[in-house]
Amino acid sequence: MTTLDRPAQTATEWQLTRYNLSQIDDQIDRDGIFAKGYWQTVDGRLQVVGLRIGTGETRQPRIVARFGDFIIRDGNGTYSVRPATPEQTAAFRKKDSLLAEQRHQLFDLDADSAYTVPGCICACPPKPAA
């Protein structure tokens, strides 16, 4: 069996969202780096708020990327996190709320679904009592 060395890669950058979390996690795992969801209590509920990268050992220092932050994979295979600027954070929150509203509307098209989606951050009025 022959193995080929990976060609030198250029840096890659992703903005972490709840929608691409698993794809980025899978890519980091394929690179042989430990990664898992980063959990925190938000509004009294334990929720994933980002991604923890690295084991905390010397060769894999632990870093945390929160939703909206940028994860950078350098050409040498190391990872780093760049926090979003205030403008990028505002744009991220707007996009995230629009996606949540779209998801909510798609669930509303299903006659069997509840009117409100748990965790939905949209401003839809509650369903009137029947």
Q: Where are the domains of the chain?
A: 12-82, 85-120
Q: Give the whole-angstrom CA distance, residue 2 versus residue 50.
A: 38
pLDDT of residue 9: 64
pLDDT of residue 99: 82
Do residues 35 and 52 make contact, with C-beta atoms less than 8 angstroms apart?
yes
> How confident is the model over 51-90, as pLDDT tens digits?
999 877 777 778 999 999 999 998 888 899 999 999 988 8
* Higher pLDDT among residues 7 and 19, named by residue: 19
Count of residues making up the chain: 130
What confidence category does residue 19 fall into, taking pLDDT thresholds of 50, 70 and 90? confident
**Looking at the chain, which runs of residues are DSSP E strands?**
12-15, 35-42, 45-53, 63-66, 70-73, 79-82
Judged by average pLDDT, the poorest of 25-34, 35-44, 46-55, 104-113 is 104-113
What is the bridge-based pairing of β-strands 79-82 and 70-73? antiparallel
Phi, psi for residue 24 in degrees, rounded to 5:
-70, -40
